[in-house]
């Protein structure tokens, strides 16, 4: 296997220089790969939904304690933090992994597929790591093991943050990065910079992609409540049909994107993902409810879209004899990679992956609550290849057939390890 690290001894260099990893440390990581894969398979077979990651947290905690790290538990309900204090003084760098799964029923043929079932929002469903968080968790556990063996050469402190509920807490609950911050995850010791990654099913194994500045979208969750008037299905003129009104509102929302949002500047998305109305084929119900998301990369466009959706829902419903209101919940801010930090540490990624395999990408309308950390400290978030380039069938994230390759995780362990060491060396 090609050695991804430069063949020099690990040493602490003057300010402005990158620390080099020796072949022994690279070999340690490669020897750890089977264990990282085993962890990933365990988490994949035993997924837990947001704010319910109890057994996941116990396994992470046990591993961090076995390494002799200072361990904090119970942050944001099920969050776990490991603190590795180097023997040399310096800054504090945080590495973050998300640990929650999704209410998706797995439909692939993996030998470690999930058969877990649960009830989510009163609907029976499977539970699946359909976004790669199982890989993120295993990668960071591997980084913690590797770096813990070299604390005598670490100039500063590394915080390993295992965060629950990145996909969003259940309705009515707090969770995710916001609650981790509220519970003090960036304090004691105070974090100077934070790094995170996301494995992707559409990026080839061995490739890293990133973007300086705005890289992922702000995410809003909206609930439209439509009030109509019930009637017999054979006599619609006696009622006000909230299902028809909902259809017109959805159609109207899409004209905001196609006719009002200046998409040549920044992309934006409005998606309705759930509609609930009625109980029987021959009854026009009194109410309907739609739940969806808005994704924006521009604050002005976000304001425009939310304002126009409020107006459109109200006025379309009124035109058909009903009424409608919208409730909003902000899930993430724009994920902004600090430009100075990005310029400083991209060479570290090029060291481990090869310059030709580190690629600048365009912004995406996906969202990440990692953005809330970046509002408080400089942060950098990148994308890790998990796609088998020889497999023509690649399924998107959040779908039943989603999969990423185990082979992609080795580069993730090496990249986060290199980022942590180089950041501490350069800035301490």
* Active site residues per annotation: 100, 166
CB 409 within 8 A of CB 224: no
CA atoms within 13 A on the CB side of 94: 28
Q: Roughly what angle, to the nearest 10 degrees, separates helices 409-427 and 133-148?
A: 50
> How many Cβ atoms from other residues are within 10 Å of residue 36's Cβ?
24
Closest CA to 348 of 9, 13, 21, 8: 21
CA 130 vs CA 42, 104, 107, 218, 300: distances in Å:
14, 7, 10, 21, 32
Which long-range contacts link 103-110 to residues 24+ away (Cβ below 8 Å)? 103/49, 103/127, 104/128, 104/130, 104/398, 104/399, 104/400, 104/402, 105/400, 106/130, 106/400, 107/400, 107/401, 108/395, 108/400, 108/401, 108/402, 108/403, 110/44, 110/403
Can you name the residues that pair with 291 across neighbouring β-strands?
A: 223, 274
Question: Measuring CA to CA, which residue among 376, 403, 426, 413 is closest to residue 185?
Answer: 376
Distances in whole angstroms, Cα of residue 397 to Cα of each of 95, 104, 141: 23, 11, 23
> What is d(CA 403, CA 276) in angstroms, rounded to the nearest whole number?
30
Give the separation between CA 216 and CA 386, rounded to whole angstroms: 19
Dihedral over alpha carbons 385, 390, 394, 400 (to 10 degrees)? -100
- β 79-85/88-98 pair status: unpaired
> What is the C-alpha separation between 199 and 319, in angstroms, rounded?
46
Instruction: Return d(Cα 387, Cα 412) in angstroms, integer.
Output: 13
Instruction: Report the relative pairing of strands 379-387 and 193-204 from DSSP bridges.
Output: parallel
Would you call 205 helix, strand, or coil by DSSP? coil
């Amino acid at each position: 296997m090609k050695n991804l690290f430069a063949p020099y001894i690990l040493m602490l260099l003057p300010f402005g220089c990158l620390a080099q990893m020796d072949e022994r440390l690279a070999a340690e990581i490669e020897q750890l790969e089977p264990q990282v894969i085993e962890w990933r398979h365990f988490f994949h077979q035993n997924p837990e939904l947001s704010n319910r990651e109890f057994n996941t947290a116990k396994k992470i905690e046990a591993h961090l304690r076995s390494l002799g790290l200072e361990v904090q538990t119970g942050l944001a309900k099920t969050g776990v933090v490991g603190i590795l204090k180097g023997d040399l003084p310096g800054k504090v760098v945080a590495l973050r992994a998300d640990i929650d799964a999704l209410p998706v029923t797995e439909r692939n043929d993996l030998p470690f597929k999930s058969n877990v079932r649960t009830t989510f929002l009163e609907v029976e469903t499977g539970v699946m790591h359909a976004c790669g968080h199982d890989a993120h968790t295993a990668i960071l556990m591997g980084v913690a093991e590797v770096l813990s063996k070299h604390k005598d050469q670490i100039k500063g402190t590394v915080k390993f943050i295992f965060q629950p509920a990145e996909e969003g807490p259940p309705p009515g609950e707090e969770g995710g990065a916001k609650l981790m911050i509220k519970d003090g995850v960036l304090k004691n010791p105070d974090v100077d910079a934070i790094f995170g990654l996301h494995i992707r099913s559409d990026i080839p194994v061995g490739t890293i992609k990133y973007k300086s500045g705005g890289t992922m979208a702000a995410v809003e969750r909206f609930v439209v409540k439509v009030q109509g008037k019930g009637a017999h299905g054979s006599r619609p003129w006696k009622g006000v049909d909230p299902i028809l009104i909902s259809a017109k509102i959805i159609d109207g929302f899409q004209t905001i994107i196609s006719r009002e949002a200046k998409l040549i500047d920044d992309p934006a998305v409005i998606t309705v993902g759930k509609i609930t109305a009625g109980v029987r084929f021959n009854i026009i119900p009194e109410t309907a409810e739609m739940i969806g998301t808005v994704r924006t990369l521009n604050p002005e466009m976000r304001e425009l879209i939310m304002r126009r959706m409020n107006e459109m829902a109200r006025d379309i419903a009124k035109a058909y004899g009903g009424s409608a209101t919208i409730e909003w919940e902000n899930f993430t801010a724009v994920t902004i990679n600090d430009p100075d930090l990005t310029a400083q540490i991209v060479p570290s990624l090029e060291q481990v992956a090869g310059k030709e395999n580190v690629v600048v990408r365009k912004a995406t309308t996906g969202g990440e609550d990692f953005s809330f950390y970046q509002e408080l400290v400089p942060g950098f978030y990148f994308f890790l290849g998990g796609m088998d380039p020889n497999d023509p069938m690649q399924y998107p994230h959040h779908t039943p057939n989603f999969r990423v390759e185990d082979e992609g995780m080795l580069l993730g362990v090496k990249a986060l390890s290199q980022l942590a060491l180089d950041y501490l060396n350069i800035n301490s």
